[in-house]
Amino acid sequence: MKEKSSFSGQLGFVLAAAGSAVGVGNLWRFPYLVAKDGGGLFLIIYLVLVLTFGFTLLTTDISIGRKTGQSSIKAYATMRPKWKFLGVLTFVVPALIMTYYAVIGGWILKYVVVYLTGDFARAAEDTYFTEFITNPSSVWFGLIFMLATAVIVYNGVEGGIERCSKIIMPMLLFMVAGIAVFALTLKYSGGNGVVRTGLQGLKVYLVPDFTGLTIPRFLQIILDAMSQLFFSLSVSMGIMITYGSYVKKDVNLNRAISQIEIVDTGVALLAGVMIIPAVFVFSGTEGMAAGPSLMFVSLPKVFFAMGAAGKYIGLLFFLLAAFAALTSCISVLEAITANCMEMFHTERKKTTLVLSLIYLIATAVIALGYSIFYLEVSLPNGSTGQLLDIMDYISNSFLMPFISILSAILVGWLVKPQWIIDEMESTGDRFYRKKLYVIMIKYVVPVVMVILFLQSTGIWS
């Protein structure tokens, strides 16, 4: 039998896993939540959750992957044959995310083109984004993005995924840091003579805001931070199990996991330093729009207001966003590919070709969900959505919390935490946060995830 593919070493693994973790979630969702949920207050809560929940779930996924050497479906079946259903459920998450992630990647690609061709004044118009996505021709950008993803996955773990992450991730880190520093130097006087500076914006970002804080509001902030954390670390969706299965036995997982946490959180924090002061300087605190419109409507306005420099900063920003989205998109397709290869005993190239075909079609359908296939569905959490939001809702708000409850029960109570601890210490290194891990996986994760699940499905509000 052919030797199983793997990352070349710790660096390759950390960069690929960080590539999966760092995505649009860090760039648009995190800064928006900080602005909405009390600035530094959200930051403190988020950091505590990274060190407790994030660490626990990341450790669990990666250890399961490396120990079994398999992707989610087979890995859970290896742990407990009766729990194969959990593997299948986990597989469904990337299978659904894949239908829309390339669509978002395509939107970003469009803006890269807009800034390259110098049409950045038009991009700052209110209706530009809506006009773009409601035009069926926008499909092409999603298809190109999907195709690029497929080519990289087709080239394999070391030759495709690792190689691409090793080029992209350092550039991305450099660009985020650069734009963040630039954002702090901004200064702008609005029509009424009030001058706002980047440093004032930084204060809005960092200083905890306790005004109007009640207990329900505090709980809401914790839940926001928790669901952001899950999405951001790409945990409980089998992706980190697959990537873990490619890690060589001599890699110290303790160190690798801390590094992944640091890169993912670091980029999110820097994205905040880059976006919040910039939006604050040019649009005041009201400028922080929610979700996609922060990235595709508010930011283009900010870039336009910067004058000539805005054209280049805008280009840099959308390039880095495209990179972030690409390495995440790759990890989603890889998780699906790896599971299919193990289940059907097919080889990589053929598997990727078939999956690419399926997902090119899916991408087109979801992208057309804003034009030809437009529909409005009210979701259990109270919002109304199009096709993309439905997929997002099922995978992120419904399946992900559900999977982590089950996975915590399986690991904490049936297989027992020692199973994971053995893997973490298999290289002879010490598992520093062992006690924390045991308490988290047995008690805290199941209880808190049940609350998150009830809340995000609208059963408990």
State the Cα–Cα distance between residues 353 and 213, nearest whole angstrom.
52
CB 242 within 8 A of CB 338: yes
Ramachandran category for residue 193: left, alpha or beta (phi over 0 → left; psi -120 to 50 → alpha): left
Strand partners, 188: 196
Which residues, 6 or more positions from 378, have their beta carbon under 8 angstroms from its beta carbon? Answer: 384, 385
Q: Is 420 in the site for ligand PHE (CB under 6 A)?
A: no
Residues between 237 and 296 that touch ligand PHE (CB under 6 A): 237, 239
* Residue 20 or 397 having the CB closest to ligand PHE: 20
Q: Which of 204, 285, 305, 254 is nearest to 420 (CA)?
A: 254
Q: Please spell the DSSP secondary structure of 419-430, one letter per residue.
A: HHHHHHTTTS--
Number of other residues whose CB lies within 10 A of the CB of residue 286: 8
At closest approach, how far in Å is the CB of 135 from ligand PHE?
A: 25
* Residue 261 or 423 having the CB closest to ligand PHE: 261
How many helices and strands (H and E) does the chain possess? 24, 4
The H or E element that residue 165 is part of is helix 163-184
Q: Is 54 in the site for ligand PHE (CB under 6 A)?
A: no
CB 18 within 8 A of CB 260: yes
* Residue 97 or 409 having the CB closest to ligand PHE: 97
* Residue 239 or 313 having the CB closest to ligand PHE: 239
CB 74 within 8 A of CB 67: no
Count of residues that interact with ligand PHE, criterion CB under 6 A: 15
Of 232, 337, 352, 404, which lies in the binding site for ligand PHE, with binding defined by CB under 6 A? 232
CB 27 within 8 A of CB 172: no
Cα four-point dihedral sign 46, 51, 52, 54: positive
Of 12, 16, 19, 26, which lies in the binding site for ligand PHE, with binding defined by CB under 6 A? 26
Task: Copy the structure tokens of residue 158.
Answer: 């070391």
Q: Please spell the DSSP secondary structure of 342-397, one letter per residue.
A: HHHT--HHHHHHHHHHHHHHHHHHHHGGGTTT---EE-TTS-EE-HHHHHHIIIII
CB 347 within 8 A of CB 46: no
Q: Is 23 in the site for ligand PHE (CB under 6 A)?
A: yes
At closest approach, how far in Å is the CB of 151 from ligand PHE?
A: 18
CB 23 within 8 A of CB 191: no
Contact range with ligand PHE by CB under 6 A, out of 20-28, 80-88, 160-168, 292-300: 20-28
* Residue 149 or 234 having the CB closest to ligand PHE: 234
At closest approach, how far in Å is the CB of 234 from ligand PHE?
A: 4
* Residue 21 or 241 having the CB closest to ligand PHE: 21
Q: Is 43 in the site for ligand PHE (CB under 6 A)?
A: no
Of 6, 13, 20, 277, which lies in the binding site for ligand PHE, with binding defined by CB under 6 A? 20
* Residue 231 or 317 having the CB closest to ligand PHE: 231
State the Cα–Cα distance between residues 107 and 228, nearest whole angstrom.
21
Contact range with ligand PHE by CB under 6 A, out of 15-23, 83-91, 245-253, 435-443: 15-23
At closest approach, how far in Å is the CB of 427 from ligand PHE?
A: 27
Contact track, ligand PHE, 307-346, x by CB under 6 A = ---------------------x--xx--------------
At closest approach, how far in Å is the CB of 231 from ligand PHE?
A: 5
User: For residue 159, which amino acid is it?
Assistant: G
Q: Is 21 in the site for ligand PHE (CB under 6 A)?
A: yes
Residues between 379 and 418 that touch ligand PHE (CB under 6 A): none
State the Cα–Cα distance between residues 54 and 182, nearest whole angstrom.
30
Residues between 77 and 106 that touch ligand PHE (CB under 6 A): 97
Beta strands in 191-281 (DSSP E): 195-197
Contact range with ligand PHE by CB under 6 A, out of 19-27, 104-112, 306-314, 348-356: 19-27
At closest approach, how far in Å is the CB of 6 from ligand PHE?
A: 21
Q: Which of 151, 199, 227 is nearest to 451 (CA)?
A: 227
* Residue 70 or 149 having the CB closest to ligand PHE: 149
Give me the residues that bind ligand PHE (CB under 6 A), please.
20-21, 23-26, 97, 231-232, 234, 237, 239, 328, 331-332
